[in-house]
Amino acid sequence: MNAEAATDQTARTEKPEKAGHGTAGEKGIWRIDADRLWDRLMTLARIGATPGGGVDRQALSAEEIASWHTMIDWALSAGLEPSTDAVGNLFIALPGIDRNAPPVLAGSHLDSQPGGGRFDGVYGVAAALEVLTTMAARGVRPPVDIVCVAWMNEEGSRFAPGMMGSEAFAGVRSLEDVRAVRDAKGVSVADALDALHAAFPALRRRPLGFALAAYVEAHIEQGPILEAQDHVIGVVTGIQGKKTFDIVIEGERGHAGTLAMADRRDALAAFSRIAVALYAQVGGHDDIVKFTIGRLQVEPNAPSVVPERATLRIDLRHPDNAVLERLGQRLVTLCETLAAPCHVSVTPLVDAPSNVFDPALQQAIAQAAERIGEPHMPILSAAGHDARHMAPLCPSAMIFIPCRDGVSHAEHEWAEPTHVAAGANVLLRVLLPYAGEGAQP
């Protein structure tokens, strides 16, 4: 954000949102307590804190259990009701009048990358808790439960791939599949999940995949656009589509000094041909596509042995589903054409098309930003989020706030306190229509 906009923000809320504190702010607009939200974010950042100022809070770890204890303490002190489910999602409910009707959900995730920051994921959870705490303090009794959620293992860094909690909830992946996954030390999700549940024996279990009325996720942008455009609120239009592929190129090992070049079936040579073509013809398709070879393993990876096998993982993203589909097919064709004399197998892993978030909720976010005087803009999410899996289930949306220099998944990830408060105030206003009579100041 530039200096001019920063001054504007700071002038309004030097110590962020002093008018908040669960009472009516200026013009009678309900505000969250910005100091409390910030303090809680910094408290959560101490759980799994790294020396460089970041966070390492892996899914189902002792640190995540500690963060649950903290969240549940805050929830109980506000009169909110914590619960969980079979896949280790954490729910905190502001009880509604009809406890059996589909609730409204808002949240994100508490786990982080190994060298993660203090805002990715945890911001959306803390903001949702703050909104519920503000409503509870005002005596709101909504028609249906309004629920803060922390999805299990969004990041996928300890147990891969991520988004286990939201995928199991949405029925995209079975609980059995999720429980069978092991981390690098051989610990299974099943064992880690059972340990998590054992740490909270009193917690009520909700069924997996209960019906939802709506889902709203607040998150830092993890990109540079809002900051560059001097906008505080991103009205997320959708999440760009993503495909991942495991590719195995099989050749034949040989002596680096004796085997003639013409007689080699060198897996790394085949990889080189394929990679050059993929960067040019898939990664170079347009200036929107994102193409990454993020992992490459060579076997036997010995200095004087012709490589017999190359295994790579490709991450391919594009907001246009038709283009993504075409590029995916081109990728397979190029691999198969260029692998000879080696053999190649391409296994599709993730296949998540772009989604469009609910237009009415997008409008509600824009109107909420206007009501509290924050500049807003539509923005496409370049990164994946749990909201992807809620969108097919119920009207869903995301609220973005800027992060400094677009940096995320890094220890120096940073969001301004005023932006943190603004996003939570927008979330509050978006959820107010679900809070019943007397909640429409």
Q: In whole angstroms, give the CA distance from residue 255 to residue 7.
A: 66
d(CA 290, CA 324): 10
Which residue of this chain has its Cβ atom nearest to Zn ion in the complex? 121
In the complex with Zn ion, the residue whose CB is nearer, 121 or 283, is: 121
Q: Which is nearer to Zn ion, 32 or 55 (CB)?
A: 55
The one segment of 44-52, 120-128, 223-231, 308-316 that binds Zn ion by CB under 5 A: 120-128
Task: Show the tokens assigned to 79.
Answer: 């009169």
Smallest separation (angstroms) from Zn ion to the CB of 149? 13
Helix (H) or strand (E) holding 92: strand 90-94
- 3-class SS of residue 327: helix
- Helices 122-137, 62-77: axis angle to 10 degrees equals 20
Residue 195 CB, nearest distance to Zn ion (Å)?
23
Segment interacting with Zn ion, rule: CB under 5 A, options 16-24, 81-89, 116-124, 252-260: 116-124
Residue nearer to Zn ion on the CB measure, 71 or 342: 71
Task: Choose between 183 and 217: whose C-beta lies nearer to Zn ion.
Answer: 217
- In whole angstroms, how close is the CB of 323 to Zn ion at the nearest point? 25
CB of 52 to Zn ion, least distance (A): 19
Please state, in angstroms and rounded to a whole number, the distance separating the CA atoms of residues 77 and 90. 17
Nearer to Zn ion, 236 or 372 (CB): 236
Footprint of Zn ion on 195-254 (CB under 5 A):
none
Residue 217 CB, nearest approach to Zn ion (Å): 9
Structure tokens at 195: 């340990």
Residue among 57 and 253 whose Cβ is closer to Zn ion = 57
- Helix, strand, coil % (nearest 5) of the chain? 35, 25, 40
Considering only the stretches 78-86, 113-121, 193-201, 399-407, report the one whose residues sit in contact with Zn ion under the rule CB under 5 A. Answer: 113-121
Give whole-number Cα distances, 329 to 324, 333, 342, 351, 365, in Å: 9, 6, 20, 12, 37
Q: To the nearest whole angstrom, how small is the minimum distance from the Cβ of residue 214 to Zn ion?
A: 20
The residue (of 33 and 120) whose beta carbon lies closer to Zn ion is 120
CB 145 within 8 A of CB 89: no
Site string for Zn ion, 66-105 (x = CB under 5 A): ----------------------------------------
17, 33, 56, 120: which one contacts Zn ion (CB under 5 A)? 120
- List phi, psi (to 5°) of 435: -95, 0
* Choice between 74 and 151, CB closer to Zn ion: 151
The distance of closest approach from Cβ of residue 163 to Zn ion in the complex, given in angstroms and rounded to an integer, is 10
Q: Is the dihedral of CA 137, 82, 433, 97 positive or negative?
A: negative
Calculate the CA dihedral of residues 71, 75, 78, 79 and round it to 10 degrees. -170
- Tell me if 223 sits within 8 A of 434, measured CB to CB: no
Query: Looking at 118-126, 254-262, 284-292, 339-347, which segment touches Zn ion (CB under 5 A)?
Result: 118-126
Q: How far is the CB of 273 from Zn ion (least distance, A)?
A: 36
Instruction: Tell me the closest approach of the beta carbon of residue 122 to Zn ion, in angstroms.
Output: 9
The residue count for binding Zn ion (CB under 5 A) is: 2
- Identify which of residues 125 and 267 has a Cβ nearer to Zn ion in the complex: 125
In this chain, which of 121, 223, 307, 417 binds Zn ion, going by CB under 5 A?
Answer: 121
Helix (H, G, I), strand (E, B) or coil at 113: coil
Compute the distance between CA of residue 323 and CA of residue 325 in angstroms, rounded to an integer.
5
Report d(CA 46, CA 66) in Å as an integer.
10
* Shortest CB 47 distance to Zn ion, Å: 16
Note whether 328 binds Zn ion by CB under 5 A: no
Helices (H) and strands (E) in the chain, counts: 13, 16
Of the two residues 120 and 227, which places its CB atom closer to Zn ion in the complex?
Answer: 120
Of the chain, the end-to-end C-alpha distance in Å amounts to 31
In the bound state with Zn ion, the residue whose beta carbon lies nearer, of 17 and 120, is 120
Nearest distance in Å: CB 81, Zn ion: 25
Please give, one letter per residue, the 3-state secondary structure of 367-416. Answer: HHHHHCCCCEEEEEECCCCCHHHHCCCCCEEEEEECCHHHCCCCCCCCCC
- Contact residues toward Zn ion (CB under 5 A) are 120-121
